[in-house]
Amino acid sequence: MKAKLIIIGALGAAALNAFAGITIDQDKSEADQAYEYIIGENAGGWNALTVTNNATYTGSNITLTSATGDGATVAAGSTLVLHDSTITVNGASGNALMLSGNGAATAELYNVTISATGGYNVWAENGSTLTMVGGTIQNGGGGYGIVIYDTNTTSITGATITADVGIYVSAYTGASGTLKLTNSNINSYTALWLENTNATVALNDNTVAGNIRADNSTIALSGSNSQITGAIVAATSGTVTVTLDGEGSVLHGNFNQDSGGAITLTLNAGATLEGAGTVSELTLNDGTTYIYTEGGLTVTDSITLGTITIDLSNLDADDLGEDLIVFDWGTLDVDISTDNFNFTGAGVAGAFSTDSDGNLIFNATAVPEPSTWFLLGVGLGILALTRLCRRT
């Protein structure tokens, strides 16, 4: 038995590889915990690691695997801290990391790789706190990277999440939570999905590739030097508010308000907006750029435009000579001067105007390439020389 105690390294520093059934309980002595771990080995349905009864477990270079249970479960009031570790669940239903109970279950993960084949990668219930620095969350069979229920505080820095749904937030009671993303990447079909909740999402130096959806929820995204690519959908009275600041911030996607939903976009100096669809409120302050997308952007409630640049690089030959709707504000009372708009786009010329239907229009015409002017000049020169020779 003593030899086995040496293998587990006093429940902290050694590798726990391919075992199941370890329970860390503050009421038990270290020896008793170790013994429970040993007898739990290979017990079907057991978790690889359970932290309970207000205990704190800290480990590094840990590998937790489970065939049918959860990789790691942290009960209310308990804390799990892992460094440079791996949690893998290969079963049909087990979660890689479970923060459970109505209480302050806490997990701090530093450069941890998480993967679940059949269950969820991370499941965080009411009152829990999840901090993730570095590491990756890989797509599980359930298709969710992180599932957050009710009031939670989640902070993710320098991590990569790859899943069908990157982060899903929901509430049984309409509670609210805070999600902070810094220097992280989400690569998902749906990057953020909220249902029946309110969440504040702070984005700083992030890449978010995937749709953002709010159902009967309010999500407020703000940040700088972040790129968001994907559709934004506000459905079933949901509200999505996006505020982006500074150079390097890009919001690219289609915007869809459905069943009473509302989308509010505010971009400040240096930020870029690209996309089409419908939003409730649009504010493009001085120094921002809108990249024209076919169909333009429809605004239903409020529009404020400073001195901005309209990028026309998406135009094709069929658009030339046509009146293109850049913004459609319908019957809104809008005081806008076309002098506030600059445009860029190789080979494009034209002018802005407004019409009686509440549209900002751009009529695009082609600008000949320099080589075309050169050839035209050469041709005229040859023609003039020919006529001169005939006279002489």
On the question of pLDDT at 6 being above 80, the answer is no
Q: Give the pLDDT confidence of 258-281 residue by residue, as tens digits.
A: 888 999 999 999 999 999 999 999
Quote the CA–CA distance of 328 and 325 in Å, as a whole number. Answer: 7
Give the CA diameter of the chain: 116
Q: SS in 3 state form for 114-176?
A: EEECCCCCEEECCCCEEEEECCEEECCCCCEEEEEECCCEEEEECCEEECCEEEEEECCCCCE
pLDDT in tens, 115-162: 888 788 998 887 889 999 999 998 765 588 998 887 678 889 999 999
User: 185-194, 226-235, 358-367: lowest mean pLDDT where?
Assistant: 358-367
The pLDDT value recorded for residue 287 is 95
> Which letter does DSSP use for residue 339 in this model?
G
Give the model's pLDDT for residue 36: 41
* pLDDT surpasses 70 at 85: yes
Contact criterion met (CB below 8 Å) for 315 and 283: no
The answer to whether 328 and 296 are in contact (CB under 8 A) is: yes
Is the pLDDT reported for residue 17 higher than 50?
A: no
Cβ contact 58:78 at 8 Å:
no
pLDDT for res 392? 59
Cα distance between residue 80 and residue 100, in whole Å: 12
Cα–Cα distance between 238 and 255 in angstroms, integer?
Answer: 13
Mean pLDDT of 212-231: 86
Q: How many whole angstroms separate alpha carbon 66 and alpha carbon 89? A: 5
Of the two residues 197 and 145, the one the predictor is more confident about is: 145
Q: How far apart are alpha carbons 58 and 289 in whole angstroms?
A: 48
Residue 91 near residue 63 (C-beta atoms within 8 A)? no
Segment among 5-19, 21-35, 43-57, 280-294 with least mean pLDDT: 5-19
Give the three-class secondary structure for 194. strand
Q: Does pLDDT of 27 surpass 90?
A: no
Compute the distance between CA of residue 325 and CA of residue 309 in angstroms, rounded to an integer. 15
Average pLDDT, the chain: 78
